[in-house]
Amino acid sequence: MLISLAPDAPESTRQRLLAAAIERGLKARVLADGQGGEVVGIGGTLGPDVARMPGVIRVQAVHKPYMLASLEARSPSTVMVGDVAIGNGPPVVMAGPCSIESRENLIEIAHAAKAAGARILRGGAFKPRTSPYSFQGLGEEGLTYLAAAREATGMPVVTEVMEVDQVDLVASYADMLQIGTRNMSNFSLLKRVGAAGRPVLLKRGFSATVDEWLMSAEYLMAHGTADVVLCERGIRTFDSTFRFNLDLNVIPGIKELTHLPIIVDPCHGTGRRSLVKPMSLAGIAAGADGLFLEVHPEPDNALSDGYQTITPAELAKIVRLSRAMLDALKECEDEQTAIPDVVHMPEVAAEEIFASIA
Ligand code: PEP
Ligand code: MN
């Protein structure tokens, strides 16, 4: 049940709602509605008198199962990562190496990514590798390098957490916690990460439906965080030509279902360096709130995912082209909206015609 409270709703209403939920053994969470008021999400139903409480402006008994993540709950969200805003503004680029390799290498990449236009540094310290014989990441040592790179550049950092018992450790270094595709349905991890007090980047499971993905976001939100950013990173289809297939339908599509921002990862989504630029631009054109990109000065020598990693120069080009493309799209859209103004003038004449008919 979703209960919307007016901006000036008395605190007593909120308290009564929460107390009523506890009394019935129901989970309850309070979210800002993006318009100055609040939404109380209750994992069940309260009595009809709820609608008559002072300050209650709307009661939705029927809603999506992902009630907190749903667009029915509130207007599109902006998620803050450090001082960087994701959603409702210009696309945000998160970039960095697939795996953190060394202190020097990471700081070099961080400076280069920042100069190219990235706002958030990515880098894996705990790596989910398909083979147990592949490089597994530097672990906590990598996290200390991530903190050093933040110190050196001022960029907030995002990194993956794979285990429930690593959450506190990773959260003590990271500004944003990443849930990888392989853990999208690890509900124990989602519960723990949702309660960790950090914004979360939730990658789509590579075989997950949109509903399953949004239910995973709901797990995070039901356990504490309001700050979830979705990341489309490619899905498996019948076609094995590409490592994964970037599903760009979901960018505009999911915005009809959820208030959460969504970014695109064209590196994992294609598995091919040569496709990263066109698919980045396609993602931005589709309305993505940002990009998640693997960058390395020598991609061929990267310790993981080098074949889908771009150079800082390529990153700079993507950022430049994205901005130019968005400016051009905006200009065309403004021209479009200008047309009715021009067409508007004859309306005066039309009124006169109607008057003369009357
Ligand atoms: C990554 O971002 O390096 C990563 C492992 O991503 P995914 O979980 O999408 O494979
Ligand atoms: Mn990777």
pLDDT in tens, 143-179: 999 999 999 999 999 999 999 999 999 999 999 999 9
The Cα–Cα gap between 353 and 358 comes to 9
Cβ(181) to ligand 1 under 6 A? yes
Residue 351 within any structural domain of the chain: no
Give the number of whichever ligand sits closest to the CA of residue 130.
1
Nearest to 284 by CA among 245, 327, 314: 327
Shared-domain flag, residues 184 and 42: no
Chain centroid to Cα 344, Å, comes to 40
Counting from 1 in the atom list of ligand 1, the atom nearest the Cα of 304 is 3
Q: Separation of 342 CA from ligand 1 center, angstroms?
A: 50
Whether 174 and 228 share a structural domain: yes
User: In terms of domains, do 231 and 297 share one?
Assistant: yes
Q: Kindly state whether residues 10 and 155 are assigned to the same domain.
A: no
Please give the structure tokens belonging to residue 56. 């209650």
Q: What is the CATH number of the domain that holds 43?
A: 3.30.70
| Residue 338: predicted pLDDT | 66
Query: Which atom, in ligand 1's list, is nearest to the CA of 182?
Result: 8
What is the pLDDT, as a whole number, of residue 333? 87
Strand 92-96 to 290-294 pairing: parallel
Q: CATH number for the domain including 220?
A: 3.20.20.70
Examine the domain organization and report whether 95 and 31 are in the same domain: no
Tokens describing residue 153: 């550049």
Q: Are 35 and 154 found together in one domain?
A: no
Q: What residue owns the CA closest to ligand 1's atom 8?
A: 180
Q: Mean pLDDT, consecutive 10-residue segments, the chain of 358 residues?
A: 98 97 96 97 95 97 97 97 98 98 98 98 96 95 98 98 98 98 98 98 98 98 98 97 97 98 98 98 98 98 98 98 97 77 53 54
Q: Looking at residue 334, what is its pLDDT?
A: 86
Cα 40 to middle of ligand 1, angstroms: 33
Give domain status of residue 160, yes or no: yes
Given this model, what pLDDT does residue 349 score? 55
Is position 341 within any domain?
Answer: no
Is 327 part of any domain? yes
For residues 262 and 230, the answer to whether their CB atoms sit within 8 Å is yes
Q: How many domains does the structure of the chain reveal?
A: 2
Judge whether 56 lies within some domain: yes
Closest CA relative to residue 279, chosen from 298, 251, 258, 257: 251
Atom of ligand 1 nearest to the CA of 183: 8
Domain match, 148 and 12 both = no
- pLDDT tens profile 317-337: 999 999 999 999 999 988 877
In a domain, 318, yes or no: yes
Asked if residue 150 has its Cβ within 6 Å of ligand 1, the reply is no
**Domain check: are 102 and 193 in the same one?**
yes
For residue 184, is it within any domain?
yes
Residue 146 domain-assigned (yes or no): yes
Give pTM, 2 decimals.
Answer: 0.93
CA-closest candidate to residue 229, choices 239, 220, 242, 240: 220
Burial classification of residue 26, based on how many CB atoms lie within 10 Å of its CB (0-12 exposed, 13-18 middle, 19 or more buried): middle
SS in 3 state form for the chain? CEEEECCCCCHHHHHHHHHHHHHCCCCEEEEECCCCCEEEEECCCCCHHHHHCCCEEEEECCCCCCCCCECCCCCCCCEEECCEEECCCCCEEEEECCECCCHHHHHHHHHHHHHHCCCEEECECCCCCCCCCCCCCCCHHHHHHHHHHHHHHCCCEEEECCCHHHHHHHHHHCCEEEECHHHCCCHHHHHHHHCCCCCEEEECCCCCCHHHHHHHHHHHHHCCCCCEEEEECCECCCCCCCCCECCCCHHHHHCCCECCCEEECHHHHHCCHHHHHHHHHHHHHCCCCEEEEEECCCHHHCCCCHHHCECHHHHHHHHHHHHHHHHHHHHHHHHHHHHHHHHHCHHHHHHHHHHHHC
Claim to verify: residue 52 and residue 192 sit in the same structural domain: no
| pLDDT the model gives residue 353 | 46
8 and 83 together in one domain: no
Distance 145 CA to ligand 1 centre (A): 19
Scored b (16 or more CB within 10 A) or e, 148-183 reads: ebbebbebbbbbbbbeeebbebbbebbbbbbbbbeb
Best mutation site among 100, 162, 179, 233 for ligand 1 pocket (most ligand atoms within 8 Å of CB): 233
Neighbours of 353 (CB within 10 A): 11
Is the beta carbon of 128 within 6 A of some atom in ligand 1? yes
Residue-range definition of the domain harbouring residue 222: 79-331
Tell whether 194 and 300 lie within a shared domain.
yes
Identify whether residues 47 and 90 lie together within a single domain: no
